[in-house]
Amino acid sequence: MFGYFIRRVLAIIPVLVVVAFVTFAMMKATKGGPFDANEKLSATTLKALNAKFGLNKPVWINTEGFSEAKAESSNPLHWVRGFLDSQFGNFAINALKGDFGPTYQSRGSETVQEVIARRFPVSLRLGLMATIFALIVGIPLGIMSALRQNTFLDYLSLVISTIGISVPSFVVGVLVVLLLSRVLNIKPIQPPEAWNGFGRAYIVPGIVLGLGTMAYVTRLTRSSMLEVKRQDYVRTAQAKGIASMVIIGRHMLRNALIPVVTILGPALANLITGSFIIESIFRVNGLGQEFVTAIQVRDYAMIMGTTLFFAALIALANVLVDLTYGFLDPRIRAKK
């Protein structure tokens, strides 16, 4: 199992390299730079800022200083040094050291790592709140729907889950804000200091963010329970006179949760990393809102650092899900 874990972790490295390359290429494909929108900056100041952050260097390969002699220009070491001295090469080397560089918004007074360390706990707490809501509502609702198939409760859960899957979270977020503020006279937008702890400020945005995952968990739990419900070992346990709660908890639910666990890791990572719109609607002081701001002002370092951080989280979540399979089903553990 440990060897399998190491192999999966090492496989994350090429994924991050591809993510970094694609993200950097997409950023550079857009026109303009992080300081071009500021009309108050003089040409001299703009030039100095670009030089300070290395934005005056070539994007991929720095060919300055290459000799025109064929023997020297074809030397691979020249191309390696040219790559390392380029914008992408410089970022890649520093990223391997765990340094994503300074943020352009702060003019270098704050690093990307410091922003992530300050903002990510808020997004993490919001994602955990959404996940808790999705599980404590989705799993019981799916179980009751399967056990009471073709009843009013079953149809009601299907309607709720269909609405949760069909309606985008940002639409629900806007409707909730209007309902709370206009109808119930409740302020859904909390001040920045409200996000420091794990308090009630997270409840409303957490429910809105986790609504789609809750609906998907409900449908998946229902279908898995219906499939397990018809298995021979369940009928055998019923024939032996074992209590219904024991059959559900020990025989049915454990096997039915394997598909749910399959999506749980990626779902948690997606809830944490995909809360950009919800954080913007509810003014959540998290990393998602910081990422949106970085895109608007073209803070390349912040965009690259946050993207790689989110990509690593999603990749690690998939690894942990595969390891969880072994605890739920020993047959899977033996194959690994």
Report domain 120-335's class.
Answer: mainly alpha
For residue 270, pLDDT beyond 80: no
Nearest to residue 329, comparing CAs of 256, 267, 264? Answer: 256
State residue 16's pLDDT score. 87
Cα gap 112→221, rounded to integer Å? 40
Mean pLDDT of the 103-123 span: 82
Terminal CA-to-CA distance of the chain, rounded, Å?
7
Q: What's this model's pTM, rounded to 2 decimal places?
A: 0.74
Mean pLDDT of the 77-104 span: 77
User: pLDDT higher for 114 or 247?
Assistant: 114
- For residue range 306-334, what is the model confidence (pLDDT) as tens digits? 888 888 888 887 787 777 766 655 655 54
- Beta strand spans in 14-165 (E): none
Cα gap 311→318, rounded to integer Å? 11
State residue 74's pLDDT score. 60
CB 135, CB 217: distance < 8 Å: yes
pLDDT band at residue 71 under the 50/70/90 scheme: very low
Q: What is the mean pLDDT of the chain?
A: 78
The mean-pLDDT minimum among 160-164, 176-180, 302-306, 332-336 falls in 332-336
Residue with token string 């100095």? 48
What's the Rg (C-alpha) of the chain? Answer: 25
Mean pLDDT of the 6-28 span: 84
3-state secondary structure of 42: coil
- For residue range 183-216, what is the model confidence (pLDDT) as tens digits? 777 777 777 677 777 778 888 888 898 888 899 8
CB 276, CB 292: distance < 8 Å: yes
pLDDT band at residue 67 under the 50/70/90 scheme: low
Residue 98 backbone dihedrals phi, psi, to 5 degrees:
85, 20
pLDDT band at residue 163 under the 50/70/90 scheme: confident
- What is the percentage of the chain residues whose pLDDT exceeds 70? 84
State residue 319's pLDDT score. 80
User: pLDDT higher for 24 or 273?
Assistant: 24
Cα maximum dimension of the chain = 89
Give the pair of three-digit tokens for residue 61: 């390969």
